[in-house]
Amino acid sequence: MTQKKSTGSREGSLKVRVKTAKKRTMSSTLWLQRQLNDPYVVQAKKEGWRSRAAFKLIEMDDRYKLLRHGQRIVDLGAAPGGWAQVAAKKVGSANGHGRVIGIDLLDIDFIPGVEFTVMDFLDEDAPDRLKAMLGGEADGVMSDMAANTTGHKKTDHIKIVGLAELAIEFATEVLAPGGFFVAKVLQGGTEHQLLAQLKRDFKTVRHVKPEASRAGSAELYVLATGFRGRRPGTDVPNAEDADAED
């Protein structure tokens, strides 16, 4: 089920060309053409995944062993549900084992084993509502959230790092010791302050570019594993030296 095996037979396929319709812009035509020729899109449909993004999480999990049976997982920015779908299968939540909580600004169709609600993570009460839904500590917090792009590289970078910082803050409040955190950032360097916080709170911090990420995309993921836990009687995580890997 790995992406290399799944997509290899399609790499040499003839490309589908899409004609520009009167009511469709050139950019929309190019996007549609890219979708039709994307081997991960084709394979996602074949295997029943909600989106090609499922293969990004599958690849990271295959390599770093993030998801295990019975875990509690929070998926921030869950729509259309590819990551939540993978997590539910891995932890067994559809069969009553573990738990997968997902939120997004957009609604998603029902996924067995996933408790989903429409919610803006930027709302002041969002973290507390998520904690109530979770009903205990989490083993992993995943964030594929992305702010609407402006076309200005520096501005877009600041916006997505801001979302990642909020997700990290939430993760340090809900993760159990040993838990993991993964979030989308952009190539060009994760903010020093963000990395410093992750290195303080987690044993190992890495930058990951899954093969399922489009080659021309600036998309990158920061993966932190081995959460150190909070100091007894406080909300402050334990701080020790961390191993950093790019």
Q: Which helix (H) or strand (E) holds 59?
A: helix 54-64
58 with 44, same domain: the answer is no
The residues annotated as belonging to the active site are 184
Lowest mean pLDDT among 44-53, 159-168, 218-227, 237-246: 237-246
CA 77/CA 109 separation, integer angstroms: 14
The CATH number assigned to the domain holding 143 equals 3.40.50.150
pLDDT of residue 32: 44
For 131, the token pair is 């904690």
Structure confidence at residue 31 as a pLDDT band (50, 70, 90)? very low
75 with 92, same domain: the answer is yes
- How many independent structural domains does the chain possess? 2
Residue 30 has pLDDT above 50, yes or no: no
200 with 140, same domain: the answer is yes
At which residue do the structure tokens 């993978």 appear? 86
77 with 3, same domain: the answer is no
At which residue do the structure tokens 């020729």 appear? 37
How does pLDDT run across 175-201, given as a tens digit for each residue?
999 999 999 887 765 667 788 899 999
Residue 78 has pLDDT above 70, yes or no: yes
Q: Name the residue with higher pLDDT: 2 or 227.
A: 227
pLDDT of residue 119: 95
Which is it for the CA torsion 85, 90, 94, 178, positive or negative? Answer: negative
Lowest mean pLDDT among 33-47, 48-62, 150-164, 169-183: 33-47
34 with 143, same domain: the answer is no
Residue 111 has pLDDT above 90, yes or no: yes
42 with 93, same domain: the answer is no
184 with 74, same domain: the answer is yes
Residue 42 belongs to what domain range?
1-48
Structure confidence at residue 220 as a pLDDT band (50, 70, 90)? confident
125 with 151, same domain: the answer is yes
Mean pLDDT of the chain: 81
Residue 18 has pLDDT above 50, yes or no: no
Q: Of 238, 243, 223, 99, which Cα lies nearest the Cα of 168? A: 223
Q: Name the residue with higher pLDDT: 41 or 73.
A: 73
CA 103/CA 106 separation, integer angstroms: 8
CA 163/CA 68 separation, integer angstroms: 26
Please say whether the beta carbons of 181 and 226 come within 8 A.
Answer: no
The answer to whether the pTM exceeds 0.85 is no
How does pLDDT run across 133-180, given as a tens digit for each residue?
999 999 999 999 877 666 666 777 788 888 999 999 999 999 999 999
226 with 138, same domain: the answer is yes
The pLDDT of 233-244, averaged and rounded, is: 53
105 with 220, same domain: the answer is yes
17 with 134, same domain: the answer is no
39 with 62, same domain: the answer is no
